[in-house]
Structure 1
């Protein structure tokens, strides 16, 4: 089974993380199980310096799994990769546990996406638009050929996502 991907794409500072923090619980209330992949352009450490897993990774382990009865995490060193491969990352997720993978960022990936556009942030909406955009969420009126959602109404966006997933599953059954 292939997990549906839905990217939330926008210019930096538009509020992608803030919106996802609001939408994810609303999707869960609807019985949906979202996963998330977040793209960052920054160096990142998710392991705690000084902890055993950190020390062993820094000692040269290319992959480290940290596991407890509540959660587990896989950390991979990938210095030889030029860029992040979204589909490889998705393949690491368990389709038995998820209904959709929300993707924050990856605005240039050829996957379905909701573009966020906020007046006064960076640039125009047009450079974000491509043939994979299924909706635009904005705080302004825009003339777009896809549904226009209210960026300040996370419930409206969650309903749109749930309906999009329902249509996908109905069409997959045809």
Structure 2
């Protein structure tokens, strides 16, 4: 079975990362093993300049695995074109995950929880599409979708766990 994707989408500065930092431990406590894919618009460097792995990747290695007895990381160059969300998710080890949370990727056709906070960029209606399964906010909203309190990570995690259980 494919591991379901669930995106947490919002305008920049709304608190996606902060909420995920609180929700992931709650999901773990509920027995839900999570992976995460985070979208960034910035040039990113996950390796440390000057380290051997960085130098070898910069020398032209298209893929580099850095491994220790506690973790490993695969870094891949994608000079031709960026990978799609589906291609990224396919690279995760679905044998050890129950769910892949996705931060960002507003335009992707995957189930989403929209975060919205008054005073951040645009309106909530600009974030809603047919893939949104709930809206988490710091104030009551009338969207016709399940409403979550983004200040209550346990509530958000419980909703996600129920959604995940029904997904099967």
The two structures have a TM-score, normalised by structure 2, of: 0.98
Question: Deviating runs (4+, > 3 A) in structure 1?
Answer: none
1:92 correspondence with 2:115: no
- Aligned counterparts of 2:90 and 2:73: Cα–Cα separation in 1: 15
Rounded to whole Å, the distance in 2 between the matches of 1:120 and 1:141 is 15
Paired with 1:106 and 1:50, the residues of 2 have a C-alpha distance of 32
Is there any run of 5+ residues in structure 2 with no aligned partner, and where? none
Aligned length: 168
CA RMSD, 1 decimal: 0.8
Tell me, what secondary structure is at the counterpart of 1:96? Answer: helix
Q: What runs of 5+ residues in structure 1 fail to find an aligned partner? A: 170-174
Q: Displacement, 1:147?
A: 0.1
Partner of 1:27: 27
TM-score, normalisation: structure 1: 0.95
- Could you say which residue in structure 2 is the equivalent of 1:120? 119
Q: Which residue of 1 is the match for residue 72 of structure 2?
A: 72
Deviation at 1:129, TM superposition (A): 0.3
User: 1:84 Cα deviation (Å)?
Assistant: 3.7
Alignment of 1:99-114 (within 5 A): 99-114=98-113
Aligned to 1:9: 9
